[in-house]
Amino acid sequence: MMNLDFGFGALEQDFWRLLFVMTRIGAALVAAPLFGTASVPPQLRVVAAGAIAVLVCAWTDVQAPAALFSLAGMVSVAGEVLIGLSLGFILQVAFAAPVLAAEIIGGSMGMSMATAVDPNSGAQSPALGQYFSVVITLVFLALGAHLQWFSLVIESYKSFPPGHTWLGAERLSEIAGFASYMFVTAVTIALPVSLILLIVQMVTGVLSRSAPALNLFALGLPAGVLAGIAALLISAPVLTDLVTRISADAIGATSDLLKP
C-alpha cells in the first residue's frame, strides 16, 4: 500500500475510506450554488462533507482504493471529483437562469448600472439579479429540494461506485442540454416584463417625436423604471411558478444523470 501510515492501526483503513468518500461530497458542495458560495466558510463545508460521508460509510459498502496515492488511486479520486462537480453544476445552471433574466430586464429598464456583488459567484450582478436569487433560494429551500439533492448525492454511490465514475459522452451531452434549458427559462421569465417595457419605450419614442421639446431621457428613464416595477409586481405569481419549476427540473435532471 502507498497510503500514509499515522500509526492508528485498524482505524487507518476507516480514516482513508472516510477521506475518499468526502471527495465526491466535497466537490458537489463546492460546485453547488447554495453551499459553495464565498460567504460559506470552507471549514463549514468540510464539516458538512464529513458528516454526510459518515452516513455514506455507515449505509454503503464503499471502499477506498487499496493504494490511494498510486496512479490508479489518483484516477479514482479524479473520477469522484468529476461526479461531484457534475451534480453541483446542474444546480448552478438552474440558479443562473433567473440571474440571466434579470440581466435582460435590467437592461430594458435602464437599471443595468445598479449592480451589487453576487454572493454566489463573487461577480457583479444587477440589483434585480439579487432579488431573483433570493426568490429561487427561498423556494428551493421551502420545497425541500436541498434534501432531495443530498439524497441523490448519496444515491450516486450506487449508480456510480468508485472505479466506474467516468461520465460518457451521452451523460455529458445531457448536462449541456440542461444548460440550454437555462436560456429558455431565462427568456420565459423576462418575456412579460420585456414586452411591457418595449411598449413603454415605443410610447415615449412617439411622444418625443410629436413633441420635440420634451426631454426624452427625463421622460423615458422614469417611465421605464416605473413600468418595469409594475410589471414585476404583476408577474410575481408567474415568477414563483417558474422558479418552482426550475427547482423541480434541476432535481429531475440530477436524477436522470444517475440513471443507468
Q: Is residue 105 part of a domain?
A: yes
Its sign, for the CA torsion 105, 107, 111, 114, is positive
pLDDT given for residue 1 in this prediction: 45
Residue 219 domain flag: yes
> 17 in a domain, yes or no?
yes
Give the chain's domain count. 1
Cell of 177: 442540454
Containing structural domain, residue 85: 11-257
Domain annotation covers residue 78? yes
Residue 165 CA to residue 79 CA, distance in Å, equals 5
Q: Nearest to residue 231, comparing CAs of 96, 127, 95, 109? A: 109
**Does residue 186 lie in a domain region?**
yes
Decide if pLDDT at 4 tops 60: no
- Of 234 and 67, the structure prediction assigns the larger pLDDT to 234
Buried b (16+ CB within 10 A) or exposed e, 81-109: bbbbbbbbbbbbbbbbbbbbbbbbbbebb
By mean pLDDT, which of 54-58, 60-64, 152-156, 217-221 is the weakest?
A: 217-221
pLDDT single digits (tens) 93-110: 888 888 888 888 877 776
pLDDT confidence of residue 89: 87
Q: Give 43's DSSP letter.
A: H
Q: Which three cell numbers stand for residue 114?
A: 445598479
Residue 3 lies inside a defined structural domain of this protein? no
Is 127 contained in some domain? yes
Residue pair 18/54 in contact (Cβ under 8 Å)? The answer is: yes
**pLDDT on residue 115:** 62
pLDDT digits (tens, 9 = 90+) for 31-78: 888 887 777 788 888 888 888 888 888 887 877 777 767 777 787 888
* Span 140-149, average pLDDT: 88
Give the whole-angstrom CA distance, residue 83 versus residue 251: 15
Q: Look at residue 75 and tell me if it is in a domain.
A: yes
Contact 137, 98 (CB under 8 A): no
